[in-house]
Chain A
Amino acid sequence: QKEVEQNSGPLSVPEGAIASLNCTYSDRVSQSFFWYRQYSGKSPELIMSIYSNGDKEDGRFTAQLNKASQYVSLLIRDSQPSDSATYLCAVIFSGGSYIPTFGRGTSLIVHP
Chain B
Amino acid sequence: EAQVTQNPRYLITVTGKKLTVTCSQNMNHEYMSWYRQDPGLGLRQIYYSMNVEVTDKGDVPEGYKVSRKEKRNFPLILESPSPNQTSLYFCASSSPRASGGRTDTQYFGPGTRLTVL
Interface residues of A (CB under 8 A from B): 8, 32, 34, 36, 41-46, 49, 88, 90, 92, 97-105
Interface residues of B (CB under 8 A from A): 31, 33, 35, 40-45, 48, 50, 56, 58-59, 88, 90, 94, 96, 102, 104-106, 108-111
CB neighbours (8 Å) of B110 from chain A are 42-43
Question: In whole angstroms, what is the CA distance A105 to B35 when docked?
Answer: 14
Q: Are B90 and A43 in contact (CB under 8 A)?
A: yes
Q: Are A97 and B43 in contact (CB under 8 A)?
A: no
Q: Are A98 and B31 in contact (CB under 8 A)?
A: yes
Question: In whole angstroms, what is the CA distance A104 to B39 when docked?
Answer: 9
Q: Are A49 and B42 in contact (CB under 8 A)?
A: no
- Which of B43, B48, B56, B96 is in CB contact (< 8 Å) with A44? B43
Closest chain B CB from A32 CB (angstroms): 5
- Known contacts A8-B40, A88-B43; A97/B56 CB under 8 A: yes
Can you identify 25 A-B contacts, CB atoms within 8 angstroms?
A8-B40, A32-B104, A34-B105, A34-B106, A36-B106, A41-B111, A42-B111, A43-B90, A43-B108, A44-B43, A44-B106, A44-B108, A45-B108, A46-B106, A49-B104, A49-B105, A92-B104, A97-B31, A98-B96, A99-B106, A100-B106, A101-B59, A102-B43, A103-B42, A104-B42
- Which of B33, B88, B109 is in CB contact (< 8 Å) with A99? B33
CB neighbours (8 Å) of B111 from chain A are 41-43
